[in-house]
Structure 1
Amino acid sequence: MWLFKSRRRNTSFALLIAAILVISYLGYSLIDDMYETVYDSLPSFKENSVKLAANDKAIKVLIVAYYRSGSTLTGSLFDDNPVAFYSFEPLYPLYLHTIAKGYPVKYFNGTVRECPDKLREDETMATEILSAIYSCRFQDFDVATATKQLCNSVSKSILDFCHCVLQKKGNLEMVPQDCFPAYYQRCAQAKYRVVKSVRVGMDVAKQLIQQYPEVKVIHLLRDPRAMFCSNNFGANCVVDVLTVEAFCRRITKDFKERQLLEREYPSSFKEVIFEDLVADPVGVAKDIYSFVNSRLPDYMAKLLLEKTHSKSDGPYGTRRENSTATAYKWTKIIGQRTITMINSHCSELIKHGKFPQIITEKDLRGFRIPQRPFKE
């Protein structure tokens, strides 16, 4: 039985989670070595003959997010749902392994493609990977995507698959035959197929909607000052001007492109402000599920309230004692230089998100957390 019941806790599951986390830390190099060992000796692979039903009605969701934007908590709205197939950062190996290291792209059927060196080629390959997830065509994954990224995430949907891949050690050529079938079944039976990525923009979202008109795109935004201070755990949120400029330019470009796409696809996009989610977690979660033509399960609402009002599980976790206070922690540590820099390069994003106007450090004295979400 592959369905997880979020309300139940059992020792075996806890141990499995712990094992996956250890593997995420120690096992990455193991998988990397395995990948290199078999890279040039993969045999051809006969594609899975099993096809999805012609009337496949799974709800396809893409969460377009940014680093430290609250995407892990937002993604957990589906990851914690036992009828969802949730893919956590599936493009990690494409951008940080294949492209960063200049590797060619190797597939299980023996096909080899040159490492993409242009943005359009990157986007095309990213779209192919996400399309394979939405249609459960895992035989279309390149070797790195199948064996590196998936086994370095903690998505509940892929725990069994991770365990299977790790058992293959130096025999990654057996992954399609031995590991894909159960993975495919998990995907094919899911009510929701959800991808969360901080590595795609609206260009990829547009390509996916053209291919799958039913795809629902959640665009997650957060105050840029909070994102930079969350990324920088030291005092005063010291950031680099080039990083700030590029980061905010990318996000601003995305929300402007999304606004244009909404004219053509009015029911395909939903903007979510992270500060709204932490201020009213159940209300915003209900809106998100309504957007994908569903209803937030009662037990999910209860779990979400627990997460936003419980002991923290670390900077990359989803639990906070007071999630609203955590979201505005940046106001206590940001310095004047960073305030000026971010205001200069991120003014359109700050205005668009209706984030508090902070000009000088004096504006932070006696700062009060604003009431969100704003009423229309």
Structure 2
Amino acid sequence: MRGGSTLTADLVRHTEGDFYMFEPLHGVWQAIRQNRSTQFLNGTVRNIVKEEQQSVYAELLYHWFTCKFDNIDITSLTNRFILHHTPELRDYYYCVASNRKHQNKTKLRIVKTCALLLRIKCRSAASRTIKTVRLSIFMAGKLLKWLPNLKIIYLLRDPRGIVNSQFEHFINEGKNVSTLARELCNTISYDLSSFEDLEPCHKRRMMKVIYEQLCQYPNIEVAKIYAFLNVEYTAERKWFVERIMKGPIWRCAYCTDRGNALKNAYRWISLISEDTLNITELWCSFLFSKLGYQHLEYNILNTTRVSWITPT
């Protein structure tokens, strides 16, 4: 979370006829955290434990990509993310919302009634894009085997910016800075290792993107992403990139039109506390050389503008 994935996904999915789903694993993640059961559209109910979490995530994404909504959880199929991030699916969402007025209908029955609208959109789509921060790269490797046409974009951001942003927006899940930074950078390290293991066999189907590099050179980097996806980078798409990356400004937590993207990417430099910087560097500095980030001393932050250095 707070790694730039919402903006990046909006850039990626700006193609005609794309079926897009924003964070479809969020409901199951919450159910696991709260030790709640999960109901699926086919009527089954499961108590998913943490040990099987990643396997379940991969299965769910497979069903989303293949439009098999009977195997999707009800929470994800009724999440307000659908309305906020995929206005092209508003007919489905409003079908669910309007049917909720009928007290004699269960949520399961309502979604079953409306799911046809979702299936039509999904099955007729020219492409399907899913944005998630929940799946490990290791399990993404399973999806590469199951879905021969799948391509994966792995986004990375300076962990100091992520840690600062999570605390700023109160989404640190009750963790202190040390725990959050340690867990975050251990996850990044594990994902990087998995990426390196998978890349030799799937080189043309996996792409690594550095968020700061994307914000610094948007047209160059987006053109690379579109080439990776075999999509033409048209003048209209260039205009869209300019608008997303430079304004106008929209004031909301998950909006991506928020002015200067590069300035926003490095906003943390002017906000981070000395303790947060030092603790995050303690747990995460082993990653910096691999990703192109520089070590920063707190007493030079007032003259520092960037943390990622263009490779020479």
> TM-score of the superposition, structure 1-length normalised?
0.74
Deviation at 1:177, TM superposition (A): 4.4
Deviation at 1:369, TM superposition (A): 3.4
Deviation at 1:183, TM superposition (A): 1.2
Cα distance per residue 1:122-180 (max 9 Å; x no partner)? 12221121111111111221222222365464223432221111112142233354312
State the partner residue of 2:239: 302
Question: Secondary structure in 2 aligned to 1:148?
Answer: coil
Go from structure 1 to structure 2 and tell me whether the alpha carbon gap of 1:363 and 1:85 turns closer, same or farther (over 3 Å shift).
same
Percent of matched pairs sharing the same residue = 25
Cα distance per residue 1:29-88 (max 9 Å; x no partner)? xxxxxxxxxxxxxxxxxxxxxxxxxxxxxxxxxxxxxx1110110010244433211110
Contact kept? 2:2, 2:166, Cα under 8 Å: yes
Judge which range, 143-152 or 177-186, deviates more: 143-152
**How far apart, CA to CA, are the structure 2 residues paired with 1:127 and 1:103?**
20
Of the three residues 9, 21, 30, the one matched with 1:87 is 21
Question: Secondary structure in 2 aligned to 1:301?
Answer: helix
Question: Secondary structure in 1 aligned to 2:79?
Answer: helix
Judge which range, 256-265 or 165-174, deviates more: 165-174
**How far apart, CA to CA, are the structure 2 residues paired with 1:84 and 1:148?**
19
**How far apart, CA to CA, are the structure 1 residues paired with 2:44 and 2:299?**
60
Contact kept? 2:215, 2:265, Cα under 8 Å: yes
**How far apart, CA to CA, are the structure 2 residues paired with 1:138 and 1:257?**
29
Go from structure 1 to structure 2 and tell me whether the alpha carbon gap of 1:357 and 1:150 turns closer, same or farther (over 3 Å shift).
closer
Paired residue type of 2:155: L
**Aligned ranges for residues 36-115 of structure 1 at < 5 Å?**
67-96=1-30, 98-113=31-46, 115=47
State the partner residue of 1:258: 195
Go from structure 1 to structure 2 and tell me whether the alpha carbon gap of 1:161 and 1:297 turns closer, same or farther (over 3 Å shift).
farther
Paired residue type of 1:91: L
Paired residue type of 1:93: G
Structure 1: stretches of 5+ with no match in the other structure: 1-66
Contact kept? 2:74, 2:108, Cα under 8 Å: no
Paired residue type of 1:192: S
Deviation at 1:201, TM superposition (A): 0.9
Of the three residues 286, 309, 316, the one matched with 2:254 is 316
Of the three residues 249, 267, 271, the one matched with 1:333 is 271
**Aligned ranges for residues 92-171 of structure 1 at < 5 Å?**
92-96=26-30, 98-113=31-46, 115-119=47-51, 121-148=52-79, 151=82, 153-169=84-100, 170=103, 171=105
**How far apart, CA to CA, are the structure 1 residues paired with 2:28 and 2:92?**
19
**How far apart, CA to CA, are the structure 2 residues paired with 1:82 and 1:255?**
32
Structure 1 or 2: more helix by fraction: 2
Contact kept? 2:12, 2:225, Cα under 8 Å: no
**How far apart, CA to CA, are the structure 2 residues paired with 1:248 and 1:157?**
36
Structure 2: stretches of 5+ with no match in the other structure: none
State the partner residue of 1:345: 283
**How far apart, CA to CA, are the structure 1 residues paired with 2:271 and 2:39?**
46
Deviation at 1:265, TM superposition (A): 1.8
> TM-score of the superposition, structure 2-length normalised?
0.89
Go from structure 1 to structure 2 and tell me whether the alpha carbon gap of 1:246 and 1:371 turns closer, same or farther (over 3 Å shift).
closer
**How far apart, CA to CA, are the structure 2 residues paired with 1:371 and 1:340?**
17
Paired residue type of 1:127: A
State the partner residue of 2:141: 206
State whether structure 2 residue 115 is matched by structure 1 residue 180. Answer: yes
Paired residue type of 1:183: L
Deviation at 1:247, TM superposition (A): 1.1
Contact kept? 2:13, 2:20, Cα under 8 Å: yes
Contact kept? 1:88, 1:153, Cα under 8 Å: no
**How far apart, CA to CA, are the structure 2 residues paired with 1:142 and 1:183?**
14
Question: Secondary structure in 2 aligned to 1:215?
Answer: coil
